[in-house]
Structure 1
Amino acid sequence: MLSIHFDERAIEEQFLNELRKKLEHIERRHTFWDMKELMRQTNMGENSIKEKFFYDERFPKHKVGGKWYFPAAECETFLLQWIKEQPTN
């Protein structure tokens, strides 16, 4: 007789980990962000973005026609560094 036992918690945990990986991959599919996406990604309004880091010479941005575009991967790297540089209160 053959008996198979499954650890349901382990299966669920593995499933959730794989789901998170897939969702991160889907989220990173954008090559460029526009201002609306930058606002969504940072959870900041346009005025706050412009006050805090938009004019930082390290911030990657390109104006094409009348619209700003931001390379997603470079922006993410910049933003993670930028937030570490902010004073904590």
Structure 2
Amino acid sequence: MSDSETARKVFEALKLAQQEPAQQALPILNGLVGLVQGNGEQPMEVEDARASAFLAICEVGKALHRGQPTDGLYVSAINAAERWMALAR
């Protein structure tokens, strides 16, 4: 799977998870971990965008696990995934 396809899959999964309750969203986010781990083979800008998406997804997951609000965190994660998609083209 290309980096662009991976970024799109992550973006779509985040949009789906955002609409689900925490118990259903957490497994979706956990399934993204393998997708967002980098291999260092992309240009630095793409790797930076991927890493930002990874960190944002982790923040959403932590908040879900703790029962904290996630609205702003989802926005950040989705924006990071969009940036990754744009750069990975």
Q: Say which one has the larger Rg.
A: 1
Q: Shorter chain as normaliser: what TM range?
A: 0.3 to 0.5
| Larger relative contact order (Cα-Cα within 8 Å, sequence gap ≥ 6) | 2
- TM-score normalised by L of structure 2: 0.32
Would you tell me which structure has more strand in proportion to its own residues? 1
- TM-score normalised by L of structure 1: 0.32
